[in-house]
Amino acid sequence: MYNLTQQYEQYTTEDFLVWKLLYEQQSKVLPGRACLEFLEGMFRLNFNKHEIPKFEDVNAILAETTGWKVEVVPGLIPDRDFFELLADKKFPSSTWLRKMSELEYLEEPDMFHDTFAHMPLLTIQFFVDYLQELSKLALKHIENPLAIELIGRLYWFTVEFGLIHNHDGMRIYGAGILSSSGESVFCLSKDANQKPFQVKEIIELHYYKDHFQDRYYVIQSYKQLFDSIPEITVWLEKALAKYAAYQGDVTQLDLQLN
Ligand code: HBI
Ligand code: FE
């Protein structure tokens, strides 16, 4: 699709330093907060603070686990391209790293977010099966901005900001949290609003991109995510039927479904 490759030899000393600093920063806050599957995934992908991951190495390991692979993209790509790649078991990742001056926050996802935070989860079969089915659903409605917004909300509150409650307690699996030190701590604190995973409410309410989330949805297992696809399809159809005539900005639209 984009025909890009990771130009590993072009990484600079600053890039390696940024990777090392972000890796060390997250290594301080994630043990005891990140879900076990994420930590195991990091280990399987041989992530470490000294080297920026080589996508060909990551792909060789993913080929032996879920059969997914990483596809190099320039950065944020159009929704159609994004969902086409995911539906084809390809995870889009940038290859550039933020600058030292952007360590805390940056507008667009960089390689640290796409690689460190997203890729370990690609070793979990039920998780990638959910991601693939959600993307196939998006492609069915790719011409409908409301459908893409609502599916984007589900993507946001699971893949990016999801929490999971398994045998060792409440843990993080959302990549948007896993690549942020502040939100990794906040989301499990008593100040955070943690709620059981519920498709209807996630679809109904808009979300914020520029500050900590005002709510986090908690799943009990990755199978629960995969099993929610039929329910997602039902609520999406209801929403598209009821709000078919809506002409406003869908990103701020709150729905009432029943
Ligand atoms: N492109 N590379 C990239 N990464 C994303 O996370 C991404 C994207 N394009 C669109 C997008 N996310 C969101 O609109 C999703 O909700 C689809
Ligand atoms: Fe992301």
* pLDDT tens, residue by residue, 174-187: 999 999 999 999 99
Nearest ligand, measured from the Cα of 94: 1
* Closest residue to atom 6 of ligand 1, CA basis: 76
**Rounded to whole angstroms, how far apart are CA atoms 56 and 219?**
32
- Look at residue 2 and tell me if it is in a domain: no
For residue 51, what are the domain limits? 8-240
* C-beta of 77 in contact with ligand 1 (< 6 A): yes
Q: Where are the beta strands (DSSP E) in 113-247?
A: 163-166, 169-172, 194-196, 216-219
Ligand 1 pocket test, pick from 77, 122, 142 with the greatest ligand atom count within 8 Å of Cβ, gives: 77
- Look at residue 248 and tell me if it is in a domain: no
Give the distance (Å) from ligand 2 centre to CA of residue 150.
17
The 8-class DSSP code of residue 101 comes to G
Nearest ligand, measured from the Cα of 76: 1
* pLDDT tens, residue by residue, 3-56: 999 999 999 999 999 999 999 999 999 999 999 999 999 999 999 999 999 999
For residue 34, list its beta bridge partners. Answer: 172
Q: How many separate domains does the chain show? A: 1
Give the pLDDT band (50/70/90) at residue 138: very high
Angle made by CA atoms 88, 114, 92, in degrees to the nearest 5: 25
Q: What percent of the chain has pLDDT over 70?
A: 100
**Rounded to whole angstroms, how far apart are CA atoms 180 and 200?**
27
What is the pLDDT, as a whole number, of residue 200? Answer: 98
Within 10 angstroms of residue 55's Cβ, the number of other Cβ atoms is 21
**Rounded to whole angstroms, how far apart are CA atoms 1 and 3?**
6
| Distances 150 to 29, 69, 83, 141, 204 between C-alpha atoms, Å | 31, 26, 14, 11, 8
- Look at residue 118 and tell me if it is in a domain: yes
What is the pLDDT, as a whole number, of residue 51? Answer: 97
Q: Which amino acid is at 132?
A: Q
* CATH number of domain containing 20: 1.10.800.10
For residue 170, list its beta bridge partners. Answer: 165
- Has residue 105 got a pLDDT over 80? no
- Look at residue 256 and tell me if it is in a domain: no
- Has residue 103 got a pLDDT over 90? no
Q: CA torsion 219→223→224→230, rounded to 10°?
A: 140
Ligand 1 pocket test, pick from 79, 157, 160, 203 with the greatest ligand atom count within 8 Å of Cβ, gives: 79
- Name every residue whose Cβ is closer than 8 Å to that of residue 223 and which is 6 or more positions away in sequence: 126
Q: CA torsion 80→86→89→95, rounded to 10°?
A: 100
Q: How far apart are the first and last CA of the chain?
A: 40
Q: Which atom of ligand 1 is nearest to the CA of 155?
A: 16
* Closest residue to atom 2 of ligand 1, CA basis: 76
**Rounded to whole angstroms, how far apart are CA atoms 72 and 6?**
7
* Closest residue to atom 1 of ligand 1, CA basis: 76
Query: What three-state secondary structure class fits 224?
Result: helix
CB-count exposure of residue 31 (10 Å: 0-12, 13-18, 19+) = exposed
- Look at residue 162 and tell me if it is in a domain: yes
Angle made by CA atoms 115, 118, 122, in degrees to the nearest 5: 110
- Look at residue 150 and tell me if it is in a domain: yes
Give the distance (Å) from ligand 2 centre to CA of residue 258.
30
Residues 225 and 158 sit within 8 Å (Cβ to Cβ): yes
- Look at residue 258 and tell me if it is in a domain: no
What is the pLDDT, as a whole number, of residue 69? Answer: 98
Give the distance (Å) from ligand 1 centre to CA of residue 209.
12
* C-beta of 109 in contact with ligand 1 (< 6 A): yes
**Which residues, chain by chain, have CB under 5 Å from ion ligand 2?**
109, 175
- Look at residue 165 and tell me if it is in a domain: yes
Residues 119 and 58 sit within 8 Å (Cβ to Cβ): yes
Give the distance (Å) from ligand 2 centre to CA of residue 245.
31
- Has residue 104 got a pLDDT over 90? no
**Rounded to whole angstroms, how far apart are CA atoms 246 and 244?**
6
* C-beta of 92 in contact with ligand 1 (< 6 A): yes
* C-beta of 41 in contact with ligand 1 (< 6 A): no
What is the pLDDT, as a whole number, of residue 210? Answer: 87
